Structure 1
Amino acid sequence: MLQVSAASLRARLKGPLTVDKIKGPLTVDKIKGPLTVDKIKVPLTVDKIKGPLTVDKIKGPLTVDKIKGPLTVDKIKGPLTVDKIKGPLTVDKIKVPLTVDKIKVPLTVDKIKGPLTVDKIKVPLTVDKIKVPLTVDKIKGPLTVDKIKGPLTVDKIKGPLTVDKIKVPLTVDKIKVPLTVDKIKGPLTVDKIKGPLTVDKIKVPLTVDKIKGPLTVDKIKGPLTVDKIKGPLTVDKIKVPLTVDKIKVPLTVDKIKGPLTVDKIKGPLTVDKIKGPLTVDKIKGPLTVDKIKVPLTVDKIKVPLTVDKIKGPFD
């Protein structure tokens, strides 16, 4: 194995490195191989890591800048700060927050079993059992999350977001109003989100703005607020109201089995047990539907329309 002096090693390192009980090899900038560290009791700061970094049982914070290769971390008890990560980051059992730069807000995760992909990070981010909030900005790749117990804030998601068992709110920027869903079985596509969003058992609100693609939801227990929906909306068993912006009053839907497409609804739409798709454009006046418990206002329809048991499409 190549031996180097402490002085030459420090000269080649661009950031301070403090370690205790290193059991594996350590490779940093100007050193292009992997860095493996076990039982680091004080913070490790690394700049320009070009190869993979594997760390186990870090008790102090780990600060990393410009990681071009994958970073694998297990049982981090202190915060991990990363800037400009271009390779995958896999983390397990992080008990304190992970802050990623170019992601302008902190990311706190616990028991991350899969990869995490964010902007300037070109590979996917998979998170399991997140107990504290995850805040991400400019996600270009897919984000898969399971059992998130803290809020998830995302801005400018260009890839798909898959979430299971979110117990606290998911807030998406450029999506300006909250969406609360439980047991979403179908994909949710929103503007600035170019891939599908699948969510299961979300107990607190999800805010979405400018949805251009279809939204499939099952068993929504909280309100769903949507702005500028351009594509179809399929919802099943919504127990609380659905509010759509440019639809200025709430839309409540229960047990919709077919797609619902709405554009510029200015009055409230409440629907119960719709078995077929409902397509509406520019609704200004009231529409009353049986098994629909509150009125639907439809524009270009200037007087109320009463319908019982809609089984097919309504335009």
Structure 2
Amino acid sequence: MSKSFYIKNKKKFLFYEKVMTIKELLDIDDTKQLKTFFEYSFDDANFDYKKFYDSRLDNYECFLFGVENKSFRGMYFSYDKKKKSYVITLYTPSSEEDWILALNYMKCLSKKLNSNIISEDEEIFTAENINTFNYKFDISVGIKSIFRHTKNSEDSINTIFGVNYPINFDHKLITKFINSDNKIKEFSEFCRNIQYLDTAIFRQKQSFYKIENSLKVYGTYMLLENFKQILPYKPNIEFPYLKKIGEKDIAYWDISFCIEKSPKKYEEIGRIYYEDFIQKLPKNKYEFIDATYILIEPLNKKEIYKILDYYELNKSK
């Protein structure tokens, strides 16, 4: 579920103005805190900053905008070429902070374009009254939807993708918010806090590799010596890969272990099947942060070798 809002592009004589660039869109934000959350890496040596920020929104399917340390899901930005409109979409449920930031941005964009804000339900808002939109109702509907979807089975999981980490809800976890007198505030704070747990936590995207002479792939994670890390208790395909890979395509999951050989230089010393890793991981070394993801305390070299137990991964398993 989601909620979209349309803001018509400005007309100049008989034609619409050029679609704004990423930089122009960011500059409209009066808080000057908005940034992009997306799949590309700014750390890539080949990344062309100028080309990216000077590119126009309609060159992309959509972009995720948000504010560091505030956004949970952020807002998705796109341009509808048929309607000649900028589109801002929030997924249900988003956090209260997501909505406050998005409504403020809609106000800024509406003023810039001198256009009304039209919801997908054809409600018409102006820059002056967009803050009256009942976003709390949308959040409440989303929380109740997760509750319904998870109540029929203890194993039923509902995944919400945040700007940094996905969050998995089971019935027990979502019930805590359903029963709260201040469910929207508590849900929003819980989700936001997971996105920004600790700047010292090592964050690494899952990777996939094709198996030789097979149509299947294997998924892999990496664990670094002496770093906190968030990993799934049981792996699943995360949002960026959902359109490319299905669960049936996965032959197995594994995890590699890397130790520091010299400052900031790591070397892989082994890998094991992921399920074996979870079984070998001491229970006092991790805690659940949601229904399925765990926060792992730093493991030193000795602890890593104990988990590995000089275990050699048998690919034919």
TM over 0.5: no
Structure number having the greater strand percentage: 1
- TM-score by length of structure 1 reads 0.27
Structure number having the greater helix percentage: 2
Higher RCO (C-alpha under 8 Å, 6+ residues apart): 2
